[in-house]
């Protein structure tokens, strides 16, 4: 017994030492690195709004200038979803209804169900989803964007699932269709990138016929920000579908 | 303000590591995420703050609690 405790103590000390070492190296890197280069910062502040039209400088950078990185992030999410689907048994995912019905306030898993969770989740989740849509559609104007909005959208669906049970929510959002939305929006994103190559030579080049945001020459022109807006919309749908898919299949597996 | 938040983050991380009830550990992690989201907001990064609040305090807590539901509630090591 004493030896076990000694081993645990040694292990904990080793972990703390390694953590301190790693932290020290990181802090040294930060202190030795000096100030970040100012050229890019000045460039983004000066030209960001004019070149991408997005008032929110963060989304003008990550969708206007560095959409390729965002594309990589969506691939990461796609891999996570694929992993969950791969691990969880496929028969479980396509299974239709549970045989045991809900009796009184005991649900089909034999758990005691309270009305508080049911009521609050039902009243709250529409507003959560609305906030997600706001974050997605105003990502170019205010803080937020496709990724954040998509996750908020999915958390609205998770909230509904916690209240009503997975079977009812799965009837509204069938897993097969959510997976289709995930894959379809990914292909759409890929297509937009490729069209950008064909149009301007680089991935995710803005191919919409846009003038600047304050360009008065042609009133019928699509504003230049619509590229960022559509990318936000597609990424929001993709992330929302992906996170909902992961959580729905996790809940369904139990 | 920044220093207070950073110290609270350390405290929350330490508590999450030390506590034996894993559900409490998950809740400490959620509070840690919420505090770091406050920190990001205080450092003028509202986009990151939204992401941290939603992913760290929201979705990952749900996933962790689902995991606890499937496995053991206590850490007996």
Q: What is the pLDDT of residues A82-104, one digit of tens each?
A: 888 888 766 666 655 554 555 55
Who among A58, A151, A254 is closest to B59 (CB)?
A: A151
List residues bridging with A112 in a β-sheet.
A106
List, for residues A7-24, the tens digit of each pLDDT value. Answer: 888 988 999 899 999 999
Residue with tokens 């369904």: A252
Residue numbers of A between 38 and 97 with CB closer than 8 Å to B: 56, 58-59
Specify the pLDDT at position A211: 55
Chain B contact for A147 (CB, 8 A cutoff): yes
Q: Mutating which of A107, A117, A236, A250 best tests the B interface, going by the most B Cβ atoms within 10 A?
A: A250
- Tell me which of B49 and A32 has the higher pLDDT: B49
In eight-state DSSP terms, residue B18 is H
Nearest chain B residue to A62, by CA: B47
For the residues A141-150, what does the mean pLDDT come to?
Answer: 88
Rounded Cα distance between B38 and B60, Å, is 17
In the structure, what pLDDT confidence band is assigned to residue A171 with cuts at 50, 70 and 90? confident
pLDDT for residue A215 is more than 70: no
For the residues A240-244, what does the mean pLDDT come to?
Answer: 92
Q: Which of A110-124, A126-140, A210-224 has maximum average pLDDT? A: A126-140
Chain B contact for A235 (CB, 8 A cutoff): no
Where do the structural domains in chain A lie, given as residue ranges?
A: 38-94+113-253
pLDDT for residue A28 is more than 80: yes
The percent of residues in chain A predicted with pLDDT above 90, rounded, is 21
In the structure, what pLDDT confidence band is assigned to residue B35 with cuts at 50, 70 and 90? very high
Who among A143, A154, A158 is closest to B50 (CB)?
A: A143
Torsion A85-B31-A154-A135 (CA) sign? negative
Is A155 within 8 Å of B59 when comparing Cβ atoms? yes
Torsion of CA A126, A167, A182, B37, to 10 degrees: 50
Specify the pLDDT at position A127: 94
Specify the pLDDT at position A216: 52
Find out whether A140 and A232 touch, Cβ atoms under 8 Å: yes
pLDDT for residue A1 is more than 70: no
pLDDT for residue B33 is more than 90: yes
Distance of CA A44 to the CA centre of its chain: 25
Is A151 within 8 Å of B51 when comparing Cβ atoms? yes
Specify the pLDDT at position A156: 92
Chain B closest-CA separation from residue A149 CA (Å)? 9
pLDDT for residue A237 is more than 90: yes
Specify the pLDDT at position B69: 80
- Tell me which of A223 and A184 has the higher pLDDT: A184
Chain A positions touching B59 (Cβ under 8 A) are 151, 154-155, 158, 243, 247
Who among A58, A246, A254 is closest to B70 (CB)?
A: A254
pLDDT for residue A227 is more than 70: yes
For the residues A32-54, what does the mean pLDDT come to?
Answer: 80
Cite the DSSP H helix spans in chain A: 2-33, 38-52, 57-59, 67-87, 90-94, 115-137, 146-164, 166-172, 175-200, 226-253
Taking each helix axis as running N to C, give the angle between helix A226-253 and helix A146-164, from 0 to 180 degrees, rounded to the nearest 10: 30
List residues bridging with A210 in a β-sheet.
A222
Find out whether A223 and A51 touch, Cβ atoms under 8 Å: no
List residues bridging with A211 in a β-sheet.
A223
Is B51 within 8 Å of A147 when comparing Cβ atoms? yes
pLDDT for residue A57 is more than 90: no
In the structure, what pLDDT confidence band is assigned to residue A68 with cuts at 50, 70 and 90? confident
Residue with tokens 């209240």: A163
Residues from B contacting A (CB-CB < 8 Å) are 46-47, 49-51, 54-55, 58-59, 62-63, 66, 69-70
CB pairs under 8 A between A and B: 41
- Tell me which of A210 and A18 has the higher pLDDT: A18
Rounded Cα distance between B31 and B34, Å, is 5
Computed over every residue of chain A, the mean pLDDT equals 82
pLDDT for residue B49 is more than 60: yes
Torsion of CA A140, A210, A68, B47, to 10 degrees: -10
List, for residues A174-195, the tens digit of each pLDDT value. Answer: 888 898 999 899 999 998 888 8
Report ipTM for this prediction.
0.85
Rounded Cα distance between A67 and A73, Å, is 10
Cite the DSSP H helix spans in B19-53: 22-42, 46-51
């Amino acid at each position: 017994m004493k030896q076990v405790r000694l081993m645990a103590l040694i292990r904990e000390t080793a972990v703390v030492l390694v953590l301190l070492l790693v932290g020290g190296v990181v802090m040294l890197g930060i202190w030795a690195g000096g100030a970040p280069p100012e050229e890019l910062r000045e460039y983004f502040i000066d030209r960001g709004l004019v070149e991408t039209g997005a008032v929110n400088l963060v989304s003008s950078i990550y969708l206007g200038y560095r959409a390729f990185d965002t594309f990589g992030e969506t691939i990461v999410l796609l891999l996570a979803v694929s992993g969950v689907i791969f691990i969880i048994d496929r028969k479980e995912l396509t299974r239709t209804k549970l045989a045991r019905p809900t009796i009184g306030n005991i649900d089909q898993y034999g758990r005691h169900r309270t009305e508080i969770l049911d009521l609050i989740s039902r009243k709250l989740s529409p507003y959560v989803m609305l906030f997600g849509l706001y974050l997605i559609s105003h990502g170019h104007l205010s803080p937020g964007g496709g990724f954040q909005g998509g996750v908020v959208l999915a958390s609205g669906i998770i909230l509904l699932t916690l209240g009503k049970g997975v079977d009812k929510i799965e009837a509204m959002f069938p897993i097969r269709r959510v997976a289709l939305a995930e894959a379809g929006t990914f292909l759409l994103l890929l297509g937009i990138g490729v069209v950008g190559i064909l149009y301007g030579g680089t991935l995710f080049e803005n191919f919409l016929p846009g003038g600047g945001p304050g360009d008065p020459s042609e009133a019928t022109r699509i504003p230049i920000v619509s590229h960022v807006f559509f990318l936000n919309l597609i990424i929001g749908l993709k992330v929302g579908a992906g996170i909902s898919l992961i959580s729905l299949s996790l809940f369904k597996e139990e | 303000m920044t220093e207070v938040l950073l110290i609270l983050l350390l405290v929350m991380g330490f508590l999450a590591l030390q506590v034996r009830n894993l559900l409490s550990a998950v809740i400490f992690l959620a509070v840690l995420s919420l505090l770091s989201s406050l920190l990001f907001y205080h450092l003028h990064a509202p986009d990151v703050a939204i992401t941290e609040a939603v992913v760290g305090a929201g979705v990952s807590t749900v996933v962790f609690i689902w995991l606890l539901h499937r496995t053991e509630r206590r850490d007996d090591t």
